Structure 1
Amino acid sequence: MVQRMVCLDRLKVFLTVLVVLHHSSIVYGGSGGWFYYEHQDDIAANALLSTFTGVNQTFFMGLFFFVSGYVTPASYDRRGAGRFLKARLYRFGVPLICYMLLIAPLLRYVSIGYEGSFGEYLRTEVLSNPLRGAIDFSIGPLWYLFALLLFFAGYIGFRKLAESRGVSKPPVALTFRVTVVYLAAVMVANFAIRLVFPVGTEVLNLQLGYFPAYIGLFMAGVAAYRGGWLQQLKETTAKKWKWANIVMIVLFPAGMAAGGALDGDVSAFMGGMSWQAVFYAIIDPLLGLGISYSLLVGFRDRRNGSATKMTHWLSANAFTAFIIHAPIVTYTAFALRDLSWHPLLKFGLVGCTSVVLSFAISSLIRESSRVFTKIPLGPRGKVRHSSN
């Protein structure tokens, strides 16, 4: 278990870096929504960055949900339902509230293109309505934490129901049939749900068009923990997936181009009764599973050694870096808006800078909070000074 967790810690750091780069790429032409955009008229940059974001979208958040599902049973077993829920509400609820009250107003200044000074914006738009972010339920990229809270509630309900009925099922074995059933279920569910909620349509900040895979992978993570799936993943299968992934990564943009994406209209792929919607509903989970399988095997076999100080530092700061990366990416790009570079070069600069800043500022926040919590307080909350 300890060794597996080392590789999963490193995988989470990798995924966090990818999230920061993903959102940085949207600024300069990648597909997706963000708070600030530049250079959206460069066809070559748009194609490359949209391929990057499109491929990322197939796996990176789903793999986050898989890892979260994997660590959930042990935490529940150790804490029990009440303490488990309390811990999760604190760990995820506090960042959500802070985002709505503090981060969302900062991002809105750039996203609405406010023409006045930042100080004027704070006086007229923020201080006059300090709860606006909470009222609008503005949680941006932290929709992931909100979704996890919903998944945790579902897991608690499942465990409680099983315990009340005295049901104890054996672990699910990882078989070819299980893989095929998962893929078929997600493909059909993708197409069906996107008829009502096309990709890009949000309900409480959640894009339901992607949730069949998210739910399936969270459940797969739970099953993987119980059934020891990580040990069962095969290197030979990972190699087959690697070549299949290469083929699909080539087919993905080719299919998008054939369906009209080069004209700037991808709505047919997002949902509806069209071959484009069928194509996306199929290749999305297929490529996502292939890349996820390859990464899990790669990190298990090659990145599962003893944790170094850098591994501990990166892993400890990945969660906070994820929480704060949105304003860092946005304001780094905004600060460099007058830099006359090619959009791909600016993406590289902003992306790398944002990664470094996200982890560095995360470390400062965590160290500051640690120092604050160690300050001895007197009976009325006043700082108690040492006689030394």
Structure 2
Amino acid sequence: MRVYFLDRIRIVLTILVIAHHSAITYGASGGWFLRLVDDKSTSSLVLTLLAAVNQAFFMGFFFLISGYLTPSSHDRKGWLDFTRDRLIRLGLPTLFFGFVIGPLTVAITRTRSWDFASEWFGIMAQGRFVIGPMWFAYALLVFSLAYVAWRKLVPVKPAPRKPIPGHRTWILAALGVGAAALIIRQFVPVGEEVLDLQLGYFASHVFLFALGCIAERYGWLTEVKRKHAMPWVIVAAVAIPLLPIALVVGEQIGQTNFATGFSFPAVFYAFWEPVVAWGIIAGMLWIFHLRFNEQDKRWGGLARQTYGAFIVHPPVIVTIAILLESIPAPALVKFLLLTALGTLASFALAWAIRKIPFVKLAV
């Protein structure tokens, strides 16, 4: 049975991806194709906090939902068809983005004009692979294949329903993920990549995908209630404004590196992320299941475009941002404009592309 509220959440998360990259464009900390603002203004600090909150939960939430949908898809299709489907749905779009759309985005960024074709063709002729945000599909393909191997080694037996674990387990999970992230970041600091993946964030990604696979057996994502979510929503609301305070404290004591090491900012950031993630994820699961778990053609139509919008949004928002350069408006206003226009254009383009024969099979 389709879980409609998860479709609504995927739409919101896709919009947040577009907002995240729009924020980086106008001053937030992070890596992206185009940065038009690079200062320490108040707007940049606000957008950096927004990006940090997003980073704490939104891609992990995608992995949680993907993990939740994986066991039933595997069982329904069988391991061979499931593997073939994952290679088509995740592998082919990643390759197409890497060799075509990624170079297109780089070409538009470099030329900042409509005369980008020669630059684009030149990058493609070099065989350059630009993974961009498709690292998510790449990582999800690896996770999916790992799940297939796991099921081969450890057959899953039918199990009775179990209640959602208590808050003590949630606390231990947050501590475990934070500790794992801190350890990983000693070898791969935040912002650095290994095989096109920022492994510094993967402690939560791996945990949430695995949790999703386990949660599917017991229907946990549909069982999150106020008693589960509200305490963590409150904790997250308290924790979010503490991040900039922690960074200021770090500066006062001469510790500013949050990407690696065991400085105060690095330790705080590692454990701050899962606390914020648990609160936002639990709150969204509770509210969306309570309010939006019904079939609706309009929402269903948007949900079908989320993957396509995710794939095409980089060249879309880069182009729109360049067009907005001449408008004399504050960075925060341009961020809102870029997010809104980028969302509309990305979903519309995804809808148009899915009309092409055979494309629907992949996106």
- Consecutive unaligned residues in structure 2, runs of 5 or more: none
Change in CA separation of 1:43 and 1:119 when aligned onto 2, cut-off 3 Å: same
Shift in Å, 1:172: 6.3
2:117 & 2:144 partners in 1: Cα distance? 40
Shift in Å, 1:113: 5.8
Alpha-carbon spacing, 1:110–1:372, altered in 2? closer, same or farther (3 Å): closer
Report 1:182-197 matches (<5 A). Answer: 182-197=173-188
Deviation at 1:372, TM superposition (A): 10
What is the match of residue 126 of structure 1? 123
The yes-or-no answer on 1:198 pairing with 2:170 is no
Map 1:202-221 → 2, pairs under 5 A: 202-221=193-212
In the alignment, what sits opposite 2:237?
246
Change (3 A) 1:54 1:122: closer
Among 283, 289, 313, the alignment partner of 2:278 is 289
Is the Cα contact below 8 Å between 2:233 and 2:282 reproduced in 1?
A: no
- Name the CA distance, whole Å, in 1 between partners of 2:251 and 2:82: 48
Q: Which residue of 1 aligns with 2:132?
A: 140
Q: Percent identity?
A: 36
Report the counterpart of residue 312 of structure 2 in structure 1.
324
Residue in structure 2 matched with residue 385 of structure 1 by the alignment: none
1:273 Cα offset (Å): 2.2
The 5 Å alignment of 1:362-381 reads 362-369=350-357
Paired residues of 1:28 and 1:37 also in contact (CA < 8 A): yes
Distance 1:325 1:150, change over 3 A: same
Cα displacement (A) at 1:171? 6.6
Deviation at 1:204, TM superposition (A): 1.5
1:300 paired with 2:289, answer yes
Residues 144-174 of structure 1: CA deviation (Å, up to 9, x unaligned): 00000110111111100013xx877777653
Which structure: larger Rg? 1
Aligned amino acid, residue 12 of structure 1? R
Distance 2:92 2:107 in 1: 23
Mapped partners of 1:304, 1:352: distance in 2: 25
Aligned match of 1:174: 164
Residue by residue over 1:86-129, the C-alpha shift from the partner in whole angstroms, topping out at 9 and shown as x without a partner, is 00000111111111221121122244568994244245x23643
Structure 1, unpaired ranges of 5+: 374-388
TM-score, normalised on structure 1?
A: 0.87
Q: Which moved more, 1:171-180 or 1:196-205?
A: 171-180
1: distance between equivalents of 2:222 and 2:124? 54
1:161 paired residue number: 153
What is the deviation of 1:325? Answer: 0.7
User: Does the aligned pair in 2 maintain the 1:114–1:121 contact within 8 Å?
Assistant: no
Q: How many residues were matched structurally?
A: 359
Q: Distance in 2 between matches of 1:98 and 1:371?
A: 12
Could you tell me how far apart the structure 1 residues matched to 2:222 and 2:96 are? 39
- Aligned-pair CA distance for 1:82: 0.7
How far apart in 1 are the matches of 2:23 and 2:218?
38
Asked if structure 1 preserves the Cα contact closer than 8 Å seen for 2:320 and 2:342, the reply is yes
The amino acid of 2:278's aligned partner reads L
**Superposition RMSD on alpha carbons, in Å?**
2.4
CA contact (8 A) 2:99 2:124 kept: no
- Other-structure match for 1:80: 78
